[in-house]
Amino acid sequence: MRIAFFGTPFFAVPTLDRLLASRHSIVGVVTQPDRPRDRGQHVTASPVKAAALAHGVPVLQPDRLKAPDVLGAFAAWSADLGVVAAYGKILPEELLRVPRLGLINVHASLLPRWRGAAPVERAVIAGDTTTGVTIMRIVRQLDAGPTFASVTRAIAPDETAEQVERDLATLGADLLVEVVEQLADGRARETPQDDTRATYAPRLTKEEGLVDWSEPAVAIHNKVRGLHPWPHAFSFLHGARHIILRTSTGPHEGAALPDSGATVAIDPTPGTVVAASGDQLAVSTGGGGAIRIVEIQPEGRRAMDARRFLSGHRVEVGARFESSARPQ
């Protein structure tokens, strides 16, 4: 078959690579325009664009998919099928009608759970213990099309969204190629989704990273994991913003901190530092618990483990992590 591919970030590259190695022909790739990326904000090509150009595949980078010249260029590829993996934009209905077999999507969740832009992150933040990848037909309604196949994957208690997504990218690529073969041979079967079980995964915002210390320790831990690598969880200590990169769920009142024989009487005020020595940096949370900060990054500085942070910053028991940059 002749296949047109839509994708932008690293998540989509394994799928593109598997299709390029298959018996089918990739006639063109649609990816988002070059944008400022990473800390230096240098304008660079998307990972999918780089992979496509390395294989000599034509690339489109439209600002507007509905533009007549874009639809015309897409139609000129004469694709039998469109494959989408984390493209990052809603596809217009006019485009969905072009390939004779429509378009299918590699979605990083077990649909109908977590329809939307951030399924992996929302699963981790919610504390889900299982996720997966679903291959679905793209329809007008967001991620609501019938499904072809799915594969499951466990989420470990300390895994970040980045770790989970990296694995799902490979699983999804393998599953996608299986479904493409079924479509090519006329063996594919579609199963409608149960809309009554649908949940939604809206796009992440920077503001969501602010830690609410009144939440239970496990909820904060899941937020730290789910917002890694972007936008990251953060809080303010001594008036300065600190990015919280890794945590471990802490003790309940009067219990021993992890890796320490000492006990602490936890301040009931959430956000209070209750341990600050050696490699122990623990903060009280809602529900009478605490959370241990394992890795932290003061804004403008390098990431560091708790021991290195405490050796270079004066942090005492009783100090407070705050929701704003007001001085203490």
pLDDT (tens digit per residue) in 28-82: 999 999 987 666 667 889 999 999 999 999 999 999 999 999 999 999 999 999 9
The predicted model gives 11-29 an average pLDDT of 98
Distance CA 139, CA 192 (A): 12
Per-residue model confidence (pLDDT) at position 279? 94
The predicted model gives 172-192 an average pLDDT of 98
Residue 59 and residue 71 in contact, taking contact as beta carbons nearer than 8 Å? no
Containing 5, the helix (H) or strand (E) segment is: strand 2-7
Per-residue model confidence (pLDDT) at position 114? 98
Per-residue model confidence (pLDDT) at position 252? 43
Per-residue model confidence (pLDDT) at position 303? 97
φ and ψ of 307, to 5 deg: -60, -45
- Read off the tokens for 251: 């003790």
Distance CA 18, CA 302 (A): 37
Per-residue model confidence (pLDDT) at position 40? 61
- On the question of pLDDT at 260 being above 60, the answer is no
Residue 137 and residue 146 in contact, taking contact as beta carbons nearer than 8 Å? yes
Long-range contacts of residues 35-44, Cβ cutoff 8 Å, at least 24 apart: none
Residue 43 and residue 220 in contact, taking contact as beta carbons nearer than 8 Å? no
User: DSSP string spanning 166-205?
Assistant: HHHHHHHHHHHHHHHHHHHHT----B---GGG--EEPPP-
- On the question of pLDDT at 25 being above 90, the answer is yes
- On the question of pLDDT at 206 being above 60, the answer is yes
Per-residue model confidence (pLDDT) at position 256? 43
- Structure confidence at residue 212 as a pLDDT band (50, 70, 90): very high
- On the question of pLDDT at 167 being above 70, the answer is yes
Q: Helix (H, G, I), strand (E, B), or coil: what is residue 81?
A: strand
List, in order of start, the domains of the chain with CATH numbers.
Answer: 2-201 (3.40.50.170), 206-322 (3.10.25.10)
- On the question of pLDDT at 326 being above 80, the answer is no
- On the question of pLDDT at 266 being above 70, the answer is no
* Beta-bridge partner residues of 36: 43
Distance CA 108, CA 315 (A): 40
Q: Percent of the chain having pLDDT more than 90?
A: 88
pLDDT in tens, 93-128: 999 999 999 999 999 999 999 999 999 999 999 999
The predicted model gives 195-200 an average pLDDT of 98
- Structure confidence at residue 323 as a pLDDT band (50, 70, 90): confident
Q: Helix (H, G, I), strand (E, B), or coil: what is residue 105?
A: strand
Closest CA to 203 of 223, 227, 224, 182: 227
- Structure confidence at residue 263 as a pLDDT band (50, 70, 90): very low
Distance CA 243, CA 235 (A): 7
- On the question of pLDDT at 88 being above 90, the answer is yes
Q: How far is CA 13 from CA 50, 307, 312, in A?
A: 9, 38, 41
Containing 273, the helix (H) or strand (E) segment is: strand 273-277
Per-residue model confidence (pLDDT) at position 106? 98
Containing 249, the helix (H) or strand (E) segment is: strand 240-252
- On the question of pLDDT at 255 being above 70, the answer is no
Per-residue model confidence (pLDDT) at position 324? 83
Per-residue model confidence (pLDDT) at position 328? 47
Distance CA 322, CA 328 (A): 9
- On the question of pLDDT at 221 being above 70, the answer is yes
Mean pLDDT of the chain: 93
Residue 124 and residue 207 in contact, taking contact as beta carbons nearer than 8 Å? no
Per-residue model confidence (pLDDT) at position 39? 61
Length of the chain: 328
Cα distance between the two ends of the chain: 65
- On the question of pLDDT at 327 being above 60, the answer is no
Residue 242 and residue 296 in contact, taking contact as beta carbons nearer than 8 Å? yes
- On the question of pLDDT at 306 being above 50, the answer is yes
Distance CA 243, CA 297 (A): 5
Closest CA to 76 of 30, 27, 31, 32: 27
- Antiparallel, parallel or unpaired: β 35-37 and 25-30: unpaired
Per-residue model confidence (pLDDT) at position 254? 39
